[in-house]
Structure 1
Amino acid sequence: MTTLTTGGSIPRSATDHAASATQTAAIAARLERLPLTSYQRGLFAIIATAWFFDSMDLGALTFVLGPIRQSFGLSTSEAGLLSSMSFLGMFLGAASAGLLADRFGRTRVFQVSMIFWGLGSILCGLSPTVQMLAAARVLLGFGMGMEFPVAQSMVSEIIPAGQRGRYIALLEGFWPLGFIASGLLCLAVLSVADWRWVFILQGIPAIFVLIVRRYVPESPRWLASHGDAEQAERVMSEIEQKVSERLGGAALPTPAPLKVEARTTTQGLATLFSPGYRRRTVMLWCLWFFALLGFYGLTTWLGALLQAKGFPVTKSVFYTILISLAGIPGFLAAALTIEALGRKATLIATLLGAAIACYFYGGATDQAQLITAGLCMQFCTFGMWSALYAYTPELYPTHVRATGTGFASAIGRIGSLIGPSLIGFILPAAGQSGVFALGAGAFILAALVVLALGEETRGRTLESISH
């Protein structure tokens, strides 16, 4: 089993080193042997609810980009640049959050991220100029970029190996639910008020941070890897007590025999490019970049592209919501296949499926073809998201899990940043068929990267994957 540490916490003696290694292995063994009960599901529900609110803010621009363009008189290229501002913030947030979460803990950074995105959303609604709106979108994106990789790490470290992939896939499923809820909110608000109230209303749920602060404990895996044996033991004992209570006071299974392995010598970013992880890092960075370039390039413009086909604002919002409903069976199907068929197969299948659907969506000549191709596209892309989020945190050890996940997400945000802006320039020259050809090509490249460099992690503990 892997023994982990964080920068600044390396034991100064061989005795301390061995004690820390044994503690980390023991905590991991105790977590893995716990039956999955309503206690772990409750922690998951809290994290997923925060993810849901965050996703509502992220999806709002898809529905209000058209009205914002009209409000400020923006050209297609200017609207594309505005769309990219939140992804610039997400790049900065994801890159910093991983390092901070591995240094200061998962729950602290998770709570701070919620404050950032809530404040950013309210400021979006209060912005009098497009420049201030762009700055608020950066702040909003910073908070969202912080939350996503930390939430992945938190769920992956509390759910046992046999269910881990399924639950992270379900966590990602709260993104299409949030996206659809955002669309419904926009549909209701835009019929009686302007787009500003959408952002103001979506910033209010940031007070959910108080629930996270009260009920979600720090990851005992992280505490052990950080060298805080006393706190790790206290949190682990509380988790065991609550699991036992959910089982009616029944005795818990005996942990598996400890397998203590040598501590990795590299720390922080250096670990991501050490011999054991270099291939994984290259694969994940390419996968995230191309997948997010294709997804956000298309999704951000989906409502505006429908308006360009002649649909009025409210009807384009309705069709975007309708198409997005396919994301619900999409992530549920992925939650099943990543445990049945594996992460790698699910990722490749959903990426290629999304590419094919993009091709037909771009060439749709009537409303029926448009809706059918759009449903297939969203089914595959949201399934892709579930597999992507389940796969990424599994490929790194605890002391750099949030860092590795955060930087992969940050590289993806570069793709997110480029995608909407690029489409803003491509659309006038190549039309909608050119836009969707770009998306299909990006998904195909992502699938090829996984096929060539990916490895399967299904059913393995986090510690065994780390070696």
Structure 2
Amino acid sequence: MNLCAGFDLVEPHSCCPSLDSAPTRTFTEFTQTRCGHLSPVPTMGDGLKTQLVSAIHLQEVELQEKPADKKQGSKNNITADETFTVEEAVETIGFGRFHILLFVIMGSSNIVEAMEIMLLAVVSPEIRCEWKLDDWQVALVSTMVFLGFMVCGVFGGYIADRYGRWKVVFGGFVWSAYFSLLTSFAPSYGWFIFLRSMVGCGVAGVSQGFVLKTEFIPEKHRAFLLPLASIFWMIGSMLIILLGMLVVPTLGWRWMIRISVTPSIILIFLFKFIPESARYNVSAGNIQAAVATLEKIAKMNRASLPPGRLVEPAVNERGSWRILLSPSFRRTSLLLWYSW
């Protein structure tokens, strides 16, 4: 058999010896050396070599991936084990745009409180003349307002701890605005003091906003922002006096009360921008709502939450009046009660 068929050779038999004459030479070597064909023909040894190289490469890739997988798994375990509380999240987020909005809206609630309380100083001389009241009857109006404030304030704190701060504050806005508006239609002195006592109940609910506001403010800013909120009370006091000077001589005290309800109505619509207390949601077991609130605040402040998951701190006793008289708080409680 002539393996060089097709080549232009003078002596085919002399240049292309048979395979039997070179038993120790492979077919590839034979074709390369004798026929001038430089491309080797694949053999079984080449296939095994390719498989071996592929196996070695695959093993190297697996060795490189295993440390990365272990590192990632270790990182996930650390993150899963980390926890943080609402207080820690508030401190990590820090002060920002959300707190400015919170300060303005919740501070405006102090304007509502001041206007409803100081309104009596403007209205009392008018109702004295209209219903021919004695001094003790005029004084009873203020007493009934603060009586409603006291009674509903005690229950308002309990309801806020049980059903949420936001609900109580929002309900206080609606309640005080509704009964204050009804006061302007009071047909007699008896109805007037009853309706004003109901307004006092609503103002007690609005005052729970102080707690809602405090729970969102970082600790290092509370000493400055909380006393600063008293400015809104002074603004409300001045507004009601100014309103009395302008409206009472022309339209009468009833229209002055109707106009004074306007800030409460405005705050009812603005209050949707204030979320429920994250601390309350955690204590109520609604962790997802608390996380959503904190994430919203962090987004507004362009910050981030601490790593890990949100948990409720261990508390031995919550919401008991006995805490106020415990050795740690007895002195503070007595001083506050006396000052008020």
Alignment match, 1:191: 249
Shift in Å, 1:252 = 4.5
Structure 1 residues without counterparts, runs of 5 or longer: 1-21, 245-250, 289-467
Partner residue of 1:112 out of 144, 168, 171: 171
Letter matched to residue 120 of structure 2: L
Does 2:152 align with 1:93? yes
Deviations 1:400-421 (A, max 9, x none): xxxxxxxxxxxxxxxxxxxxxx
% identity of equivalent residues = 26
CA distance in structure 2 between the aligned counterparts of 1:155 and 1:265, rounded to whole angstroms: 23
For the residue of structure 2 that corresponds to 1:223, the secondary structure is helix
Q: Is the 8 A contact 1:96 1:146 kept in 2?
A: no
Against the structure 1 CA distance between its residues 137 and 264, is the aligned structure 2 distance closer, same or farther, given a 3 Å change threshold?
A: same
Alignment match, 2:316: 264
Against the structure 1 CA distance between its residues 182 and 119, is the aligned structure 2 distance closer, same or farther, given a 3 Å change threshold?
A: same
More contact order relative to length (CA 8 Å, sep ≥ 6): 1
Q: Is the 8 A contact 2:174 2:268 kept in 1?
A: no
Alignment match, 2:134: 75
Does 2:293 align with 1:235? yes
For the residue of structure 2 that corresponds to 1:263, the secondary structure is coil
Shift in Å, 1:218 = 0.8
Alignment match, 1:223: 281
Shift in Å, 1:128 = 1.2
Letter matched to residue 117 of structure 1: S
Summarize the alignment of residues 118-129 of structure 1 with structure 2, pairs less than 5 Å apart: 118-129=177-188
Alignment match, 2:90: 31
Alignment match, 2:193: 134
Summarize the alignment of residues 11-22 of structure 1 with structure 2, pairs less than 5 Å apart: none
CA distance in structure 1 between the aligned counterparts of 2:279 and 2:216, rounded to whole angstroms: 8
Against the structure 1 CA distance between its residues 137 and 210, is the aligned structure 2 distance closer, same or farther, given a 3 Å change threshold?
A: closer
For the residue of structure 1 that corresponds to 2:129, the secondary structure is helix
Aligned length: 259
CA distance in structure 1 between the aligned counterparts of 2:171 and 2:82, rounded to whole angstroms: 29
CA distance in structure 2 between the aligned counterparts of 1:210 and 1:252, rounded to whole angstroms: 30
Larger-Rg structure: 2
Q: Is the 8 A contact 2:148 2:198 kept in 1?
A: yes
Deviations 1:156-195 (A, max 9, x none): 1111111112222122221110010001111011221221
Q: Is the 8 A contact 2:294 2:305 kept in 1?
A: no
CA distance in structure 1 between the aligned counterparts of 2:165 and 2:179, rounded to whole angstroms: 21
Deviations 1:298-318 (A, max 9, x none): xxxxxxxxxxxxxxxxxxxxx
Summarize the alignment of residues 391-402 of structure 1 with structure 2, pairs less than 5 Å apart: none
Against the structure 1 CA distance between its residues 96 and 25, is the aligned structure 2 distance closer, same or farther, given a 3 Å change threshold?
A: farther
CA distance in structure 2 between the aligned counterparts of 1:220 and 1:60, rounded to whole angstroms: 35
Alignment match, 2:232: 174
Against the structure 1 CA distance between its residues 278 and 76, is the aligned structure 2 distance closer, same or farther, given a 3 Å change threshold?
A: same
- What TM-score, normalized by structure 2, do the two folds share? 0.70
Q: Is the 8 A contact 2:84 2:311 kept in 1?
A: yes
Alignment match, 1:353: none
Against the structure 1 CA distance between its residues 263 and 254, is the aligned structure 2 distance closer, same or farther, given a 3 Å change threshold?
A: closer
Q: Is the 8 A contact 1:111 1:212 kept in 2?
A: no
> Which deviates more, 31-40 or 125-134?
31-40
Deviations 1:324-343 (A, max 9, x none): xxxxxxxxxxxxxxxxxxxx
Shift in Å, 1:54 = 3.0
Partner residue of 2:210 out of 130, 152, 163: 152
Letter matched to residue 292 of structure 2: R
Against the structure 1 CA distance between its residues 144 and 260, is the aligned structure 2 distance closer, same or farther, given a 3 Å change threshold?
A: closer
Does 2:266 align with 1:208? yes
Against the structure 1 CA distance between its residues 203 and 155, is the aligned structure 2 distance closer, same or farther, given a 3 Å change threshold?
A: same
Q: Is the 8 A contact 2:278 2:293 kept in 1?
A: yes
Alignment match, 2:335: 283
CA distance in structure 2 between the aligned counterparts of 1:103 and 1:219, rounded to whole angstroms: 12
Q: Is the 8 A contact 1:113 1:143 kept in 2?
A: yes
Q: Is the 8 A contact 1:54 1:117 kept in 2?
A: no
Deviations 1:241-300 (A, max 9, x none): 1111xxxxxx54868xx9997422354323333443334333322232xxxxxxxxxxxx
RMSD (CA atoms):
2.6
- What TM-score, normalized by structure 1, do the two folds share? 0.52
Letter matched to residue 238 of structure 2: I
Deviations 1:309-368 (A, max 9, x none): xxxxxxxxxxxxxxxxxxxxxxxxxxxxxxxxxxxxxxxxxxxxxxxxxxxxxxxxxxxx
Letter matched to residue 205 of structure 1: P
Shift in Å, 1:37 = 1.5
Shift in Å, 1:211 = 2.6
Against the structure 1 CA distance between its residues 259 and 237, is the aligned structure 2 distance closer, same or farther, given a 3 Å change threshold?
A: closer
Alignment match, 1:143: 202
Against the structure 1 CA distance between its residues 25 and 277, is the aligned structure 2 distance closer, same or farther, given a 3 Å change threshold?
A: farther
CA distance in structure 2 between the aligned counterparts of 1:24 and 1:158, rounded to whole angstroms: 19
Q: Is the 8 A contact 1:63 1:186 kept in 2?
A: yes
Alignment match, 1:61: 120
Shift in Å, 1:143 = 0.5
Q: Is the 8 A contact 1:122 1:199 kept in 2?
A: yes
Against the structure 1 CA distance between its residues 53 and 282, is the aligned structure 2 distance closer, same or farther, given a 3 Å change threshold?
A: closer
Q: Is the 8 A contact 1:51 1:175 kept in 2?
A: yes
Letter matched to residue 221 of structure 1: R
